[in-house]
Amino acid sequence: MKPIFLCLTLLLAGCKLTGSAETDAKPLVSPGPRPLYLLQALPDDDLKQRLQACKTQPFYRHDFSIGHRGAPLMFAEHSKQSYQAAIDMGAGIVECDVAFTADKQLVCRHAQCDLHQTTDILLRPELAAKCAEPFSPAEPANGKAASARCCTSDISVAEFSGLCAKMDGVNPHAQNVADYVQGTPGWRTDLYSQCATPMTHQDSVALFKQQGVKMTPELKQPQVPMPYSGGYRQQDYAQQLVDEYKAAGVAPSQVYLQSFNWQDILYWLEHEPEFGRQAVWLDGRYEQPDFNPMQSRSWQPSMAELKASGLNIIAPPLWLLVTEQDGKIVPSAYAKAAKAAGLEIIAWSLERSAPLAQGKDWYYQSLPTLAKHDGVVLQLLDVLARDVGVTAVFSDWPGTTTFYANCLLGDGSF
Whether residue 8 is found in the same domain as residue 42: yes
Q: Is the pLDDT of residue 98 over 80?
A: yes
CB-facing half-sphere around the CA of 315: CA atoms within 13 A:
26
Whether residue 150 is found in the same domain as residue 212: no
Whether residue 223 is found in the same domain as residue 133: no
Rounded CA separation 242/257 (Å): 8
Whether residue 107 is found in the same domain as residue 128: no
Q: Is the pLDDT of residue 21 over 70?
A: no
Q: Is the pLDDT of residue 20 over 60?
A: no
Q: What is the pLDDT of residue 414?
A: 59
Q: 43: domain CATH number?
A: 3.20.20.190
Whether residue 207 is found in the same domain as residue 254: yes
Q: Is the pLDDT of residue 16 over 70?
A: no
25 — pLDDT class (breaks 50, 70, 90): low
Bigger pLDDT: 17 or 234?
Answer: 234
Domain endpoint, select from 126, 142, 177: 177
Q: Does some domain include residue 187?
A: no
Q: What is the pLDDT of residue 27?
A: 84
Residue 343 burial (CB < 10 Å; 0-12/13-18/19+)? buried
Please give the model's pTM, rounded to 2 decimal places: 0.93
Q: Is the pLDDT of residue 15 over 60?
A: no
| Average of per-residue pLDDT across 337-353 | 97
Whether residue 86 is found in the same domain as residue 209: yes
Rounded CA separation 330/365 (Å): 14
Residue type (1 letter), 49: Q
Q: Does some domain include residue 56?
A: yes
Q: Does some domain include residue 414?
A: no
Rounded CA separation 160/400 (Å): 31
Rounded CA separation 263/275 (Å): 15
| Average of per-residue pLDDT across 163-189 | 97
Whether residue 131 is found in the same domain as residue 206: no
Q: Does some domain include residue 188?
A: no
Name, in order, each residue with C-beta under 8 angstroms of 237's C-beta and a sequence gap of 6 or more: 100, 219, 222, 226
| Average of per-residue pLDDT across 190-198 | 95
Whether residue 17 is found in the same domain as residue 160: no
Q: What are the CA-CA distances from residue 109 to residues 61, 68, 279 (Å)?
A: 25, 12, 19
Q: Does some domain include residue 286?
A: yes
Q: Is the pLDDT of residue 333 over 70?
A: yes
Q: What are the CA-CA distances from residue 324 to residues 261, 319, 328, 366, 368 (Å)?
A: 30, 11, 6, 7, 8
Q: What is the pLDDT of residue 294?
A: 86
45 — pLDDT class (breaks 50, 70, 90): very high
| Average of per-residue pLDDT across 327-333 | 97
Quick one: CA dihedral 388, 392, 393, 394, positive or negative? negative
Q: Is 291 helix (H, G, I), strand (E, B) or coil?
A: coil
Q: Is the pLDDT of residue 92 over 90?
A: yes
Residue 144 structural domain: 115-177
Whether residue 72 is found in the same domain as residue 205: yes
**97-100 and 106-108 beta bridge pairing:** antiparallel
Q: Does some domain include residue 24?
A: yes
Residue 169's region, left for phi above 0, alpha for psi from -120 to 50, else beta, is left
Whether residue 79 is found in the same domain as residue 209: yes
Q: Does some domain include residue 373?
A: yes
CB atoms within 10 A of CB 97: 23
Mean pLDDT estimate for the chain: 93
Contact 207/170 with Cβ under 8 angstroms? no
Whether residue 280 is found in the same domain as residue 243: yes
Whether residue 93 is found in the same domain as residue 141: no
**What is the count of structural domains for the chain?**
2
Contact 266/305 with Cβ under 8 angstroms? no
Q: What is the pLDDT of residue 338?
A: 97
Residue percentage of the chain with pLDDT more than 90: 89
321 — pLDDT class (breaks 50, 70, 90): very high
Quick one: CA dihedral 167, 168, 171, 177, positive or negative? positive
Domain endpoint, select from 148, 177, 206: 177
